[in-house]
Structure 1
């Protein structure tokens, strides 16, 4: 009998809109990273695991998180080498996650936002599909091991940005602005704001790490 690996949805302390809650499906493992756990609890969810230093919540909020979580793992805010979100990501991978969705990992703190985008590399290295999702964006990271299929959705634009110094052999199918064996280097904007011409498109690369961002100017009501 084949055991299906579960989806893990991580809620972190960045900007969390209504879209984050719409990502949750029956059977998902819900993980709260610091203040992200509070958002889950306030919307009627009981996190399966909560990790963090809880420096962004009050003592009473921390008590609520502790009481309402199935597992609660606090850490010292000074004596740690990873962000709360990275710890949550590492835990999900240790549990054998089949897919990881990161919510609330983008926001006003761009140091944290960029660090969280880099976490997509960890998922890629483990062979686990991983996405960052918010009201306006969905981010994925790909390498040359597989063709990435991008489906038409509420996100109207698809942008490509290199996360390595160079990405070579970029070939697009089903896009308004095609590329064939193209190269992108850091600093170029050639891959910004493409659009699908059908229900789906494909992206193939030969070498490098390519960040694929689907985006929209309008959030769902």
Structure 2
């Protein structure tokens, strides 16, 4: 009997922390992309595969990754056409992932960050639910068809940004600022910082691709006693 498709969690080389470990669920398959594989090894986790050019780790760290991974796949850092994260995304998709979660794919390199956001479109077109998470944000992409259902969570703000020139037929239910058959054009900030007021809400569109970003603010720092 064929086993059920698994959820794949990609750890890439961007910003990572203990928050990323809380994303994991029993049965997840782990992919370490470049320095993301080292992060997993350092936290006692064994990637199902570690892949990338590994140009951001030392020779000693590379050996640790190799020894800590079930599979290891490396490539030349110059003669390659894909980023390490896209290589990881493609591998998860080839394995028949039922869902893909990406951590460590946002950070100081906004060229990489935006390219990784665009991977959400690949998942949407393939019918594979995909999500990007960092310490303060969760990003998903929706198109026409099945509404996105959201539950109240510590991510108190919900923002909507078009990923196509226009998005039409935007309908929100359960929000402080509801919409019905509204339109957004790329470059507008109208969809920023809405709030889910009901325990659950829905976002749906009739035409176009809409990026849904759930965010929370950092906890205020405790005052110094010195």
State whether TM-score is above 0.5: yes
In 2, the alpha carbon distance for the partners of 1:2 and 1:175 equals 41
Post-superposition CA distance 1:48-73 (Å, at most 9, x none): 00110000001111111111110000
Post-superposition CA distance 1:107-165 (Å, at most 9, x none): 01111111100010111111011000111000000000211111111100000000011
Give how far 1:218 is off.
2.1
Give how far 1:40 is off.
0.4
Give how far 1:220 is off.
11
Instruction: Report if aligned partners of 2:137, 2:216 keep a CA contact under 8 Å in 1.
Output: yes
Instruction: Report if aligned partners of 2:99, 2:128 keep a CA contact under 8 Å in 1.
Output: yes
Post-superposition CA distance 1:2-37 (Å, at most 9, x none): 843111000000000221100111211000000000
In 1, the alpha carbon distance for the partners of 2:2 and 2:166 equals 39
Aligned-residue RMSD, C-alpha: 1.5
In 1, the alpha carbon distance for the partners of 2:186 and 2:7 equals 32
Corresponding residue SS for 2:40: helix
2:181 is the alignment partner of 1:181 = yes
In 2, the alpha carbon distance for the partners of 1:121 and 1:220 equals 35
In 1, the alpha carbon distance for the partners of 2:190 and 2:103 equals 28
2:58 is the alignment partner of 1:46 = no
The residue number in structure 2 matching 1:57 is 57
The residue number in structure 2 matching 1:85 is 85
The residue number in structure 2 matching 1:70 is 70
**Deviation beyond 6 Å, 4+ runs, structure 1:** none
In 1, the alpha carbon distance for the partners of 2:212 and 2:89 equals 20
The residue number in structure 1 matching 2:19 is 19
Instruction: Report if aligned partners of 1:167, 1:185 keep a CA contact under 8 Å in 2.
Output: yes
In 2, the alpha carbon distance for the partners of 1:79 and 1:63 equals 22
The residue number in structure 1 matching 2:211 is 211
**Alignment map for 1:161-172 (pairs within 5 Å):** 161-172=161-172
Instruction: Report if aligned partners of 1:136, 1:219 keep a CA contact under 8 Å in 2.
Output: no
**Long gaps (5+) in structure 2:** 222-226
The TM-score, its normalising length taken from structure 1, stands at 0.97
In 1, the alpha carbon distance for the partners of 2:72 and 2:120 equals 24
Count of equivalent residues: 221
Corresponding residue SS for 1:132: strand
2:156 is the alignment partner of 1:156 = yes
